[in-house]
Chains A and B, each alone.
Chain A
């Protein structure tokens, strides 16, 4: 119980920090749903970084950790009191949402919850990759005391000592604060990140596109059995997908509120936490920097480039500093650094490896997400119908062009670089693609859903007013004809 209370406190502290940046009255609103969802990742990232710094600076036997945690919580909650001016994030105007869509979203959320609970009840330690890497490190950090650096011993090479510590650090911190070890910590953290990802996706799209696309995207995400299964597997992929989505959503919101640079600063913080959650997050961090520069130069205002980049660097400086210190002093840079250039060149020039990669891409296109119907076909049909509507009238908001370009380029670059890294470094490429390709795609899935629904035109599933208007016009026309005939 104490463990869950401490986790809730970390969440609240994160909410306190993001609310301090974007304050609005505390009530049930889209603004607060967005901040509450962001607060999960902000709290988790800050707590994990601080715990790691405490380990390095004060040692694992630092007895004042609970007291320090309490003080940090009070400070974060005190930030509630600072009333600063901020933009209100509200539902975008759009057509009425049909009840069946709301019902579908609720059913998808309920099914997602049941799936998650069913999977973790059966497998509370998570899948092999979770306990042998992430929870193993958490156990070492918690149990080894002064010898916590043993977690990065060369004897434990199979746990990938270079993997960043967001998840194990957070799990170990919860155990330390609660004074006991329990599988409830990784399970609750996984659930919060799943909830937070859905919350950020729905609320960000609600602000940018309105209720209908927001609920559709939420239904698709929570209805993706693979995504829920990945969360229940207790890997660090869903936390990474949260930070990727949060970074892209905040940059899209930045374009709607160009005067308020706090969106970019917070996006920088989230991108930094992405790098602290998995090595793939470092690729994303570099990709999003390149993507933002291209998007602002091509689609945005060039004068915003320098001020936005300064805020972005300000936001990501602290977590990136922690990641750099960890990589250089504790975990190492990883096995890839030792691979000779001749091997890389050989891998690169081997056509068979590219064919295997292409085959993997085609297979994943049909199998992705464990949907019974390939999801790309469903999304393609949706796209066709929505683009058709666009020709009829409504188009994309020009303010979203830079945000959409940022998201699309960053996701494509991240995927592209990861695939090239796979071709370059993996010895058994066919096996790895079979086992981890979908996982890589799922890391980008929430961000891709954000970009997809942002790119599509506003969708009107019911149009009662238009029909009424049409009927009235018809009646008026008939009436006029009768009058003319009578005359």
Chain B
């Protein structure tokens, strides 16, 4: 019983203190303005400004895939359309240039759709 109460307090504590900036709900909000017509079998590339060794990088990639299913997201910049997931205020043009990408549509909330110059 005491263990259960302890666990319950744990949940309440977590719920009160975290701001939910990371997670499915937060990510679904980020992608709210993404074209609703995501077709099955469509393949998008993916690029993020989060360093690859950051533990949240992989989780964010998985979240993007989860939110945009049934489209398939590849961790590559060689697809025709590439989703750029950025955390700075503005889209980092240097990052795009390095990866041979040019902006196609800024979705907002840190999400942009780019075209690859090297498909």
**Which residues of A line the B interface, CB within 8 A?**
104, 107-108, 111-112, 114-115, 118-119, 121-125, 128, 131-132, 135-136, 139-140, 143-147, 150, 153, 155-156, 158, 223-225, 228-229, 369-372
- Complex interface residues of chain B between 63 and 119 (CB less than 8 A to chain A): 65-66, 69-70, 72-74
Min distance, Cβ B56 to any Cβ of chain A, angstroms? 11
State which size class the interface on B falls in: 20 to 34
Q: By CB atoms of chain A within 10 A, which of B1, B7, B23 has the most?
A: B7
Determine if B72 and A150 form an interchain contact, defined as CB atoms under 8 angstroms apart.
Answer: yes
A225 to B41, CA, bound (A): 41
* Nearest opposing residue in chain B for A130, CB measure: B24
Which B residues lie within 8 Å of A370 (CB)?
Answer: 3, 6-7
* Nearest opposing residue in chain A for B28, CB measure: A125
Chain B contact residues: helix, strand, loop or mixed? helix
Min distance, Cβ A201 to any Cβ of chain B, angstroms? 17
**Which residues of B line the A interface, CB within 8 A?**
1-8, 11-12, 14-15, 23-25, 40-41, 43, 59, 62, 65-66, 69-70, 72-74
Determine if B72 and A156 form an interchain contact, defined as CB atoms under 8 angstroms apart.
Answer: yes
Min distance, Cβ B24 to any Cβ of chain A, angstroms? 4
A145-B40, A156-B65, A369-B3 are known contacts. Are A111 and B8 too (CB-CB below 8 A)?
yes
Total A-B residue contacts, Cβ distance less than 8 Å: 88
Can you list 24 contacts pairing A with B, beta carbon distance less than 8 Å? Answer: A111-B1, A111-B8, A112-B4, A115-B4, A121-B15, A122-B15, A131-B66, A135-B66, A136-B65, A139-B69, A140-B69, A143-B40, A143-B69, A144-B70, A145-B40, A147-B40, A158-B62, A223-B1, A224-B3, A225-B4, A229-B7, A369-B3, A370-B3, A372-B3
Determine if A153 and B15 form an interchain contact, defined as CB atoms under 8 angstroms apart.
Answer: no
Min distance, Cβ A159 to any Cβ of chain B, angstroms? 8
* Nearest opposing residue in chain B for A125, CB measure: B24
Determine if B62 and A115 form an interchain contact, defined as CB atoms under 8 angstroms apart.
Answer: no
* Nearest opposing residue in chain B for A107, CB measure: B1
Determine if B69 and A132 form an interchain contact, defined as CB atoms under 8 angstroms apart.
Answer: no
Given contacts A122-B14, A131-B24, 7 further A-B contacts (CB under 8 A): A132-B62, A143-B40, A150-B70, A150-B72, A225-B3, A225-B6, A228-B7
Which B residues lie within 8 Å of A140 (CB)?
Answer: 69-70
A111-B8, A156-B72 are known contacts. Are A147 and B3 too (CB-CB below 8 A)?
no
Determine if B62 and A128 form an interchain contact, defined as CB atoms under 8 angstroms apart.
Answer: yes
A119 to B10, CA, bound (A): 10
A140 to B66, CA, bound (A): 9
Determine if B2 and A372 form an interchain contact, defined as CB atoms under 8 angstroms apart.
Answer: yes
A143 to B36, CA, bound (A): 12
Determine if A225 and B7 form an interchain contact, defined as CB atoms under 8 angstroms apart.
Answer: yes
Which A residues lie within 8 Å of B14 (CB)?
Answer: 122
